[in-house]
Amino acid sequence: MLCEGVVLPHSMGLGGGFTATIYTKKTGHMEVLTALETAPAAVTEDMFVGQENINGAITSGVPSAVYGYWKLHQKYGKLPWERLFEPTIEICRRGILVSRHLAGALAHNEEHIRNEISMSEVFINPATNDPYKEGEIMYRHVLANTLEIVAIEGPEVIYRGGRIGRMLIEDIKATGGIITEHDLKDYDVRWEKPLRARINNGHELFTSPLPSSGAVLAFILNVMESMYVSSRDKYWHRLIETYKHAFGYRTKLGDIHFEPSVREIYKNLINPKFAAKIRKLILDDRTFEDISYYGANYSNVEDHGTAHISVLAPNGDAISVTSTINGPFGAKVRSRQTGIILNNEMDNFSKPDVMSAFNIPASPANNIKPGKRPMSSICPSIVLDDGGNVALVVGGAGAFKITTSVAQAILHYFVLREPIQEAVNSGRLHHHLVPMVIDAEPEVPKHTINYLLNLGHKVNILTKDTAFSALTAIGYMEDEPEPVCDHRRIGSAVVVELTNDN
């Protein structure tokens, strides 16, 4: 994850946070570590009302990645803490090969990068005076220094009054932020029980609780469990209708530790009996335009950039981790003393009494409060067979489309019995209720599109270069694990064979 934060600085890094679903095969224990960013103590509920498309340190939640890494290492780590940092420090100093995906993000955000000295000094190539392009080499020397200090001195150097934390807060204040040293000292992770949902053929999903969207994923799978039909077109219609119900109820969710009112709907979403009731609302010959039919009273706030890692160990242990700084390059500001790019997680909270572009009010369950975490679309997941063996490790990047993409991959792998490569890479459909339109990738068959149009759906056919959620998965229903990286975004899949000498 440390290396990913350097090669994918637009998606994750030390200035962000993460959620991990972790499985220990020997004991059968599954748990979730929520290490997402929290709202600073100085926030007020209406502080962003009337402001659109804001950037800068004011939008940053309390950075939580390093503290989360430490907690994860304390409980599950094998190698010395310091050794974990060595490859990333070396990459920062020797040079980072700019990928096509990073080059595209730099080009797309060029104006913001040029106008912010803390960003331009690392992302503008001094030899060309342009953003770094694919194949060029860039360096992160200041970040390397920070990583070296954290490796030696531990997370206290950030979170318990240490020098890196002090420098970080100085830079945050200098750029208009409101995070304090007390916010860093007060930050803590949450160890939680995973959510569960049954899948066909005796498999069971384990995924992350609120404020991530594991409950939305579990609901989709619960509803679709007995909805499979041989007609793929009819199957797609049923899945789209399930997505619409899922996002309707998502509008009522928030951080359950701050919003006790969400408990009832949260329990419903993971209850198969509730899924059975929703199934009766899904009609094979029509769709509906009224959002209230799908349980919605409010609008959702869309989150943004993320990165995902799936790992399956030789002993059967597994971890599924989704990391984020929210938008591309987060707050689009960097601590010049530490090299840390700040997140813009506060942008994921609702704005009270603000109507969406579709004249729908924002969800009060997701209003900002000190210490609260905003709703997120991430859902790092692990699927076990009935013998407790890992059958799938999966998660994704890509805002709202993460949840529906993970659901589609799981259904295609376990229900439609597609190979994992096909389950991940085949054309996708997505619907998040508002606007009332399906996003369809161009690979989706034309007869499916026509079938959906004839039922009354509106369909937006995306271009090939339009971003969709990118998944990282490891399937294990055959003799060997099959890692796969989504063709939609750059990634890598590696199988490491251990010998007796290791």
Q: Are residues 107 and 234 in the same domain?
A: no
In sequence order, the 6+-apart residues with CB closer than 8 A to the CB of 474 are 310, 311, 312, 318, 390, 392, 393, 394, 420, 481, 482, 483, 484
For residues 297 and 402, state if they share a domain: yes
The domain boundary, picked from 366, 388, 406, lies at 366
CA dist list (Å): 346 to 51, 61, 171, 224, 398? 12, 6, 18, 33, 18
Q: How far apart are the first and last CA of the chain?
A: 23
Query: Do 55 and 135 belong to one domain?
Result: yes
Residue corresponding to tokens 């030390």: 14
Query: Is 349 found in the same domain as 318?
Result: yes
Which SS3 state, helix, strand or coil, does residue 430 take? strand
Lowest average pLDDT, out of 333-342, 354-363, 366-375, 449-458, goes to 354-363
Say which DSSP state 41 is in.
Answer: T
Task: Tell me if 222 is assigned to some domain.
Answer: yes
Helices (H), 34-180: 65-76, 81-94, 100-108, 110-115, 117-123, 141-153, 156-159, 163-174
Task: Decide if 377 is inside a domain.
Answer: no
Q: Do residues 288 and 349 share a domain?
A: no
Q: What are phi and psi of 448, to 5 degrees?
A: -70, -45
Banded pLDDT at 303 (limits 50, 70, 90): low
d(CA 208, CA 199): 16
pLDDT of residue 306: 82
pLDDT in tens, 70-99: 999 999 999 999 999 999 999 999 999 999
Q: Does residue 412 contact residue 471 with C-beta atoms inside 8 Å?
A: no
Spot the catalytic one: 34, 59, 306, 338: 306
Residue of 46 and 496 predicted with greater confidence: 46
Annotated binding site: 324-326, 376-377, 399
Instruction: Tell me the C-alpha to C-alpha distance, in Å, between residue 157 and each of 12, 67, 195, 370, 437.
Output: 21, 10, 34, 23, 48
pLDDT band for position 356 (cuts 50, 70, 90):
low
**pLDDT above 70: residue 392:** yes
Nearest to 377 by CA among 247, 492, 245, 256: 247
pLDDT confidence band for 300 (50 / 70 / 90): confident
Q: Is residue 123 one of the residues assigned to a domain?
A: yes
pLDDT higher than threshold 80 for residue 359 = no
Tell me the pLDDT tens digit for each residue of 246-255.
Answer: 999 999 999 9
Query: Could you tell me the CA-to-CA distances from 234 to 130, 228, 240 in Å, in that order?
Result: 49, 9, 10
The encoded tokens of residue 143 equal 């970040």
pLDDT at 280: 97
- Higher confidence at residue 488 or residue 144? 144
Helix and strand element counts for the chain (H, E)? 17, 18
* Encoded tokens for 332: 């689009």
Residue ranges of the annotated binding site for L-glutamate are: 324-326, 376-377, 399
Tokens of 127: 């030899």
Count of alpha carbons within 13 Å of 301, Cβ hemisphere only? 30
Domain boundary among 344, 366, 388: 366
Does 211 lie in the same domain as 347?
no
Q: What pLDDT sits at residue 495?
A: 58
Task: Say whether both 58 and 36 belong to one domain.
Answer: yes
- Total structural domains within the chain: 2
Per-residue model confidence (pLDDT) at position 502: 45
264 and 330 housed in the same domain: no
Of 431, 438, 403, 424, the C-alpha closest to 474 is: 424
142 and 217 belong to one structural domain: no
Q: Is residue 135 included in any domain, yes or no?
A: yes
Q: What is the mean pLDDT of residues 472-481?
A: 92
Q: Are residues 113 and 218 located together in one domain of the fold?
A: no
* Whole-prediction pTM: 0.95
Q: Please check whether residue 30 is in contact with residue 357, taking contact to mean a CB–CB distance below 8 angstroms.
A: no
Q: Hey, what are 351's tokens?
A: 């704005």
In a domain, 464, yes or no: yes
**Same domain flag for 241 and 184:** no
Angle between helices 141-153 and 81-94 (to 10 degrees): 170
Burial call 465-477: b when 16+ CB within 10 Å, e when fewer: eeebbbbbbbbbb
Q: Specify the DSSP class assigned to residue 346.
A: G
Q: What is the mean pLDDT of residues 260-278?
A: 96
Return the CATH number at 478.
1.10.246.130
- pLDDT at residue 292, rounded to an integer: 93
pLDDT for 496 beyond 60: no
- Residue 331: which domain range? 2-191+303-366
Which one, of 205, 168, 206, 212, lies nearest residue 190 by Cα? Answer: 212
DSSP β-bridge partners for residue 137: 97
Is 34 a catalytic site residue?
no
Looking at residue 466, its pLDDT comes to 78
Q: How far apart are CA 179 and CA 172, in angstroms?
A: 7
Q: Assess whether 257 and 198 both reside in one domain.
A: yes
* Least confident piece of the model among 210-224, 350-364, 448-462, 484-498: 484-498
- Answer whether residue 412 is part of any domain: yes
Within 8 A by CB and 6+ apart from 82, the residues are 151, 152
26 within domain boundaries: yes
Residue with tokens 């160990």: 313
Q: Is residue 499 part of a domain?
A: no
409 near 385, Cβ under 8 Å? no
User: Could you report the per-residue pLDDT of 198-248, keeping only the tens digit for each?
Assistant: 997 789 999 999 999 999 999 999 999 889 888 999 999 999 999 999 999
Mean pLDDT of 385-393: 97
